[in-house]
A and B are shown apart, each in its own frame.
Chain A
Amino acid sequence: MTSRELILARVRRNQPAWRDLPTIPSFERSLADPWAAFGSALARMGGSVAVPPDGTALDAFVRFLHAGAKVICSAVPEVVGTRRIADVRHPAELDDVDVGVVRGAFGVAETGSVWLSEREFGVNALGFLAQHLVVLLDPRSIVADLHAAYRDPRFREARYAVLMTGPSATADIEGVLIRGAQGIRSFTVVPAAPA
Chain B
Amino acid sequence: MMNRVDHAEASSKFIEAKDHADFHDKRLWDLRRKRDSESEALPEWETLRALASQIKEHTLTHLGDYLEEFERNATANGMVVHWARDAAEHNEIVHRILEAHGATILVKSKSMLTDECEMRPFLENRGVEIVETDLGERIQQLDDEPPSHIVVPAVHKLRGDVAEVFGRTLGTDPDNSDVPYLAESQRRHTRPTYLRAHAAMTGANFAIAETGTFVVCTNEGNADLGANLPPLHIASIGIEKLLPRIEHLGVFVRMLSRSALGSPITQITSHFRAPRPGTEMHVVLVDNGRSERLGMEDFWYSLKCIRCGACMNTCPVYRRSGGLSYGATYSGPIGVIIDPTFNLRKYSALPFASTLNGSCTSVCPVKIDIHEQIYKWREVIAQRHQLPMVKKEAMRVAGKVLASPKLYRAAVEAAAAGLEHLPRFLVYNPFNAWGRQREVPAAPAQTFRQWYVANRGGER
Contacts and interface: CB of A to CB of B under 8 A. Distances in A.
Touching in the complex, A and B, CB below 8 A? yes
Interface of A: 2-4, 6-8, 10-22, 24-25, 27, 41, 44-46, 91-92, 95, 110-113, 118, 124-125, 127-129, 145-151, 155-156, 158-176, 178, 181-184
A10 B276 contact: no
27 contacts: A3-B83, A7-B85, A15-B63, A17-B61, A19-B57, A19-B58, A21-B58, A22-B51, A25-B47, A27-B44, A113-B265, A124-B276, A129-B225, A129-B229, A159-B272, A165-B264, A165-B265, A167-B267, A168-B268, A170-B136, A172-B135, A172-B153, A174-B162, A181-B183, A181-B219, A182-B133, A184-B221
A172 B294 CA distance: 34
Contact of A8 (B57, B68, B246): B68
A168 to B, nearest CB: 4
Contacts of B267: 45-46, 164-169, 183
Contacts of A182: 133, 135, 186-187, 190-191, 220-222, 225
Contact of A159 (B158, B239, B273): B273
A168 B220 contact: yes
B292 interface: yes
Interface of B: 23, 27, 30, 44, 47, 50-51, 54-55, 57-58, 60-64, 67-68, 77, 83-85, 89, 133-136, 139, 152-155, 157-159, 162, 179-180, 182-183, 186-187, 190-191, 195, 211, 213, 219-222, 224-225, 228-229, 239, 244, 246-251, 253-254, 261, 263-276, 285, 287, 291-292, 294-295, 297, 300
B228 A124 contact: yes
A147 B250 contact: yes
A10 B291 contact: yes
B292 A10 contact: yes
A109 B267 CA distance: 15
Contacts of A14: 291-292, 294-295, 300
Contacts of B84: 3
A110 B271 contact: no
Given A7-B239, A41-B264, A16 B221 contact: no
Contacts of B265: 45, 111, 113, 146, 163, 165
Nearest to B59: A21
A3 B183 contact: no
A160 B273 CA distance: 6
B386 to A, nearest CB: 24
Nearest to A8: B64
Nearest to A150: B250
Contacts of A155: 211, 213, 246, 271, 273
B220 A128 contact: no
Contacts of A166: 267
Contacts of B186: 182
A145 B136 CA distance: 31
A162 B270 CA distance: 4
Contacts of A118: 276
B246 A150 contact: yes
A6 B85 contact: yes
A30 to B, nearest CB: 15
A125 to B, nearest CB: 4
**A125, A145, A160, A175 — most chain B CB neighbours (10 Å):** A160
Given A145-B250, A173-B182, 17 more contacts: A2-B83, A3-B83, A3-B85, A3-B287, A10-B287, A18-B62, A22-B54, A41-B264, A110-B264, A150-B253, A158-B271, A165-B267, A168-B221, A172-B135, A172-B155, A173-B162, A175-B27
What 9 pairs between A and B have smallest CB-CB spacing?
A183-B221, A14-B295, A168-B221, A147-B250, A10-B291, A172-B136, A181-B220, A159-B274, A176-B179
Contacts, number: 246
Contact of A163 (B23, B159, B261, B269): B269
A160 B427 CA distance: 59
A39 B57 CA distance: 36
Contacts of B229: 91-92, 125, 129
B121 to A, nearest CB: 22
A117 to B, nearest CB: 9
A44 B38 CA distance: 13
B139 to A, nearest CB: 7
Contact of A170 (B55, B155, B220): B220
A183 B61 CA distance: 39
Contacts of B62: 15, 18
A112 B276 CA distance: 27
**A7, A17, A178, A183 — most chain B CB neighbours (10 Å):** A7
A146 B250 CA distance: 5
B246 A156 contact: yes
Given A10-B287, A111-B264, A172-B152, A128 B158 contact: no
A7 B269 contact: no
Contact of B135 (A110, A113, A158, A181): A181
Contacts of A147: 247, 250-251, 254
A113 B269 contact: yes
Given A156-B246, A169-B220, A174-B27, A11 B268 contact: no
B250 A128 contact: no
Contacts of A112: 264
B34 to A, nearest CB: 11
A64 to B, nearest CB: 25
A3 B254 CA distance: 34
B157 to A, nearest CB: 8
Contact of B300 (A16, A125, A162, A184): A16
A179 to B, nearest CB: 9
Contacts of A22: 50-51, 54-55, 58
A146 B89 CA distance: 37
B276 A159 contact: yes
B294 A15 contact: yes
